Amino acid sequence: MGLAERRAIKKFVEGRYLKLKQEIDAAAGFDVPIEVNWDSLATEDYADAYEDAFYKVYFRPLIDALKAIAIDDLGKEALKENLKKIVIEDSGSSYPTFQSGILTLKYYAQSNLDDWMSRKKDIQTHLEKGL
pLDDT in tens, 36-65: 999 999 988 899 999 999 999 999 999 999
Domain-by-domain residue ranges, the chain?
Answer: 3-129
Residue 78: what pLDDT? 98
Contact criterion met (CB below 8 Å) for 27 and 66 = yes
Q: Is 71 helix (H, G, I), strand (E, B) or coil?
A: coil
Give residues with Cβ within 8 angstroms of 56, minimum separation 6: 113, 114, 116
> In terms of C-beta density within 10 A (0-12 exposed, 13-18 middle, 19 or more buried), how is residue 15 classed?
exposed
Q: Is 35 helix (H, G, I), strand (E, B) or coil?
A: strand
pLDDT in tens, 63-91: 999 999 999 999 999 999 999 999 999 98
